[in-house]
Amino acid sequence: MIKEKINQAVDILKEEDIDVWLTFVRESSANNDPILDLILGTNCTWQSAFVISSKGDAIAIVGSLDETNIRETGGYEVMGYVESIKTPLIEQLERLSPKKIAINYSINDYMADGLSHGMFLNLEKILDGTRFVKTLVSAEGIISKLRGRKSPEEIRRIQGAIDLTEEIFEKVSGFMKPGMTESEVATFILNLVDEAGVETSWEREMCPNVFTGPDSAGAHAAPTDRKIEKGHVLNIDFGVRKDGYCSDLQRTWYFLRDGEDEAPNEVMGPFETIRDSIALAAEKIRPGMEGREVDAIARGYITGKGYPEFPHALGHQVGRMVHDGAGLLCPEWDRYGNLPYLKIEENQVYTIEPRISIPGYGVATMEEIIIVTPEGGKFLSHPQKEIFLI
Amino acid sequence: MIKEKINQAVDILKEEDIDVWLTFVRESSANNDPILDLILGTNCTWQSAFVISSKGDAIAIVGSLDETNIRETGGYEVMGYVESIKTPLIEQLERLSPKKIAINYSINDYMADGLSHGMFLNLEKILDGTRFVKTLVSAEGIISKLRGRKSPEEIRRIQGAIDLTEEIFEKVSGFMKPGMTESEVATFILNLVDEAGVETSWEREMCPNVFTGPDSAGAHAAPTDRKIEKGHVLNIDFGVRKDGYCSDLQRTWYFLRDGEDEAPNEVMGPFETIRDSIALAAEKIRPGMEGREVDAIARGYITGKGYPEFPHALGHQVGRMVHDGAGLLCPEWDRYGNLPYLKIEENQVYTIEPRISIPGYGVATMEEIIIVTPEGGKFLSHPQKEIFLI
């Protein structure tokens, strides 16, 4: 996977017209640059430079004791040093002769801000007296693209997390009964997470979120002792991190009242509207569109049916992080800054998660995951077609 | 514990003649400043400022959604903001009117280098046009002292990790037999680690290190399929991280040959020399000494008995990290830079770990843990007095 991401990085450097991308770190287990997960997959101790060029070079200059470990990643031509990184680093830069060197700092994007200020000062000192000191630029554009464009191995891992989440949802369907509390349902799920030897996608106290009935918080709150009752709509928001990659899915259940053999129309209208708005957004999404355009498709479908619009973005990227940064399917609201206008790219992975509150019942919401292809969004999850009846 | 460390920080600020220490972070779960473990114990999302003053102020300026969480740490007067941190941060600085503001960057000490370069630029922008922009200095002196001086709760946690490690060593003594491999011994230990629900102090592949007989690597290598034989000296280097704090201990065993009921003199000489050199170093260590002086006491004792000196430092600090940074008991060798000359302080916690190779048998080595008091080193571990016979 490291090799896949390095190859992607080379292509992105060409697109961004940057000759060299330099990741400069030390003691990365204590002071981590989040990009190392993608382009290295291990840690280094002494000052280390990972140099990727638009011509296809991938060079690691590392302390001699780290050489073996870094070589085993399979991604780099490895050069060990003993006394100082300065000479080999400048040699490599002179050979590559870059007009621009991108380094990992960013005012706005914390995922692209892995260079510490002390290491920035060390780098300035190393480059002092060379022409390179004037060529440093932010790598935020490179990093955002590299995180967004999922490689085949990354897609396989996200798929693994989704598959496990769906298996757990199926077991939950067989477990839940009226009279149980939200917390009991959450505990059942967390036991399955532990048995599978994985982590939850976000803090365990709030993953899963379980919301039953008309009086629940509906979102962003921990499970409570509220009891499931007949006539409740219940939804669960849940995901797992497996092999370093996250899922994030929501499903909706209805608890039949005595004498009912299906959910009432007041519930089915919102349920079907959400389901169909997700299908529509997935069908229409294309590389090159802006996030706000996809958000508007689902949002407009829902308000067109006479339902209120959902008070959040339609979807976010998933990957190593459950909210994987940049590129968002969101409306043009102030708080989203420039995000509604970012271009959607092929092989980005997004959630689609509209919601409708159903007065007297609860909240209907599904969250599916798609990957962007030139022909539209391809579902990685199995979209919920029918409301689950218990 | 957060409160204990904040109180220590106030005293250190007075000693260092710095008015204000500012920790400035965002999205700390992705982009962590290692000092947050000590002074916050949780994460924050938006730009957040933790301001500690030499007068005893401890103020957290955080995004409004983080207010509750940060208040629960019990350490800070919490101020929430919605739009921008700039106004409340400058207000607090004007109130405190510092001549020097220490921030978390360091050229040399990675544990004191948690401020990202992007966040440094954000801070410069926020302070632009104020007199504070010229008052920024490195907090490395504060952070080094704060990590080193263990609070009562930190000592309690280190003690917990040591106690568990000693329990596991006792079980290992009952388990090991000639014919077993180093790897089998390591697996036995790792199962006990998992049962206890803790982590190993360093990478699991190399923790425990198990070395048996005269042909083993002796240090810094993973366990192998080498079999324990009668007549082997075996040593194990191992520790656990429990409640966030580490232990790091070594013990030595001897496998009796047929007809032996004690270890031969060639083994007992080195064993007793190590044991006594540790006792001597612990007896002599005092606050205010330099690390090199303590190293020289044990090193001199060993060479005085005619044994070769050990090829490494006598001991390092332990805490949240197994090598907890700064202050080292080490010889004046180039590779240790200024570390041999740092002053030892009360309540620092050090390992003492000399070693002697015994040709034909293996390596004898013990590693104990002491806390520095005005009366000398007080053992937190139970020092190994007799070689363990199997």
Cβ neighbors of A371 (< 8 A, separation 6 or more) are A150, A155, A347, A348, A349, A377, A378, A380
Asked if B115 is an interface residue toward chain A (Cβ–Cβ < 8 A), one would say yes
Q: Which residue of A has its CA nearest to B335?
A: A83
Mean predicted lDDT score pLDDT of chain A: 93
- Paired tokens of A278: 């997700």
One domain, residues B70 and B136: yes
Q: Which residue among B26, B34, B117 sits closest to A117, beta carbon to beta carbon?
A: B117
Would the pLDDT of B220 be above 70?
no
One domain, residues B135 and B222: no
pLDDT band at A220 (very low <50, low <70, confident <90, very high): low
Q: pLDDT at position A204, please?
A: 87
One domain, residues A231 and A179: yes
- Paired tokens of A264: 């009432």
Q: Average the pLDDT over B74-85 and give the result.
A: 90
One domain, residues A180 and A284: yes
One domain, residues A271 and A178: yes
CATH number at residue B20: 3.40.350.10
Would the pLDDT of B301 be above 70?
yes
- Inspect the interface and report whether the beta carbons of A117 and B122 lie closer than 8 Å: no
Name the least confident of A296-310, A329-343, B41-55, B248-262.
A329-343
Å between A30 CA and nearest CA of chain B: 7
Say if strands B388-389 and B249-254 run parallel, antiparallel, or are unpaired. Answer: parallel
Q: Which residue of A has its CA nearest to B33?
A: A31
Would the pLDDT of B219 be above 80?
no
Q: Which residue among B27, B113, B122 sits closest to A116, beta carbon to beta carbon?
A: B113
One domain, residues A57 and A44: yes
pLDDT in tens, A139-172: 999 999 999 999 999 999 999 999 999 999 999 9
One domain, residues A248 and A133: no
Would the pLDDT of A217 be above 80?
no
Which of B147, B162, B195 is a domain's end point? B147
Query: B41-76 b/e with 16+ CB inside 10 Å = b?
Result: eebbbbbbbbbbbbeebbbbbbbeebeeebeebebb
One domain, residues A100 and A156: no
Asked if A122 is an interface residue toward chain B (Cβ–Cβ < 8 A), one would say yes
Å between A355 CA and nearest CA of chain B: 22
- Inspect the interface and report whether the beta carbons of B113 and A119 lie closer than 8 Å: yes
Say how far apart CA B294 and CA B284 lie, in whole Å: 7
Please list every residue in chain B whose beta carbon sits closer than 8 Å to the beta carbon of residue A112.
Answer: 118
- Paired tokens of A377: 């969004």
Q: pLDDT at position B140, please?
A: 93
Query: Cα–chain-centroid distance for residue A100?
Result: 29
One domain, residues A250 and A380: yes
Q: pLDDT at position B83, please?
A: 79
Please list every residue in chain A whose beta carbon sits closer than 8 Å to the beta carbon of residue B120.
Answer: 117, 120
Would the pLDDT of B337 be above 80?
no
Say how far apart CA A310 and CA A303 lie, in whole Å: 9
Å between A257 CA and nearest CA of chain B: 38
Which residue matches tokens 């907890």? B324
CATH number at residue A178: 3.90.230.10
Say how far apart CA B79 and CA B58 lie, in whole Å: 11
One domain, residues A381 and A292: yes
Å between B118 CA and nearest CA of chain A: 5
- Paired tokens of B75: 């350490």
- Inspect the interface and report whether the beta carbons of B26 and A110 lie closer than 8 Å: yes
Say how far apart CA A48 and CA A44 lie, in whole Å: 7
- Inspect the interface and report whether the beta carbons of B107 and A121 lie closer than 8 Å: yes
One domain, residues B139 and B287: no
- Rounded (10°) angle between helices B152-175 and B182-195: 130
Are B75 and B40 a contacting pair, CB within 8 Å? yes
**Domain residues for B102?**
2-147
Cβ neighbours around A303 below 10 Å, total: 12
| pTM listed for this prediction | 0.82
ipTM over the 0.85 cut-off: no
Say how many domains are in chain B: 2
Cβ neighbors of B174 (< 8 A, separation 6 or more) are none
pLDDT band at A219 (very low <50, low <70, confident <90, very high): low
Cβ neighbours around B177 below 10 Å, total: 11
pLDDT in tens, A95-138: 999 999 999 999 888 889 999 999 999 999 999 999 999 999 99
Would the pLDDT of A335 be above 80?
no
pLDDT in tens, B190-205: 999 999 999 999 988 8
pLDDT band at B109 (very low <50, low <70, confident <90, very high): confident
Q: pLDDT at position A369, please?
A: 98
Which of A126, A147, A168 is a domain's end point? A147
Percent of chain A with pLDDT over 90: 82
Which of A147, A177, A202 is a domain's end point? A147
For the CA atoms of chain B, what is the radius of gyration?
24
One domain, residues B153 and B134: no
Q: pLDDT at position B147, please?
A: 93
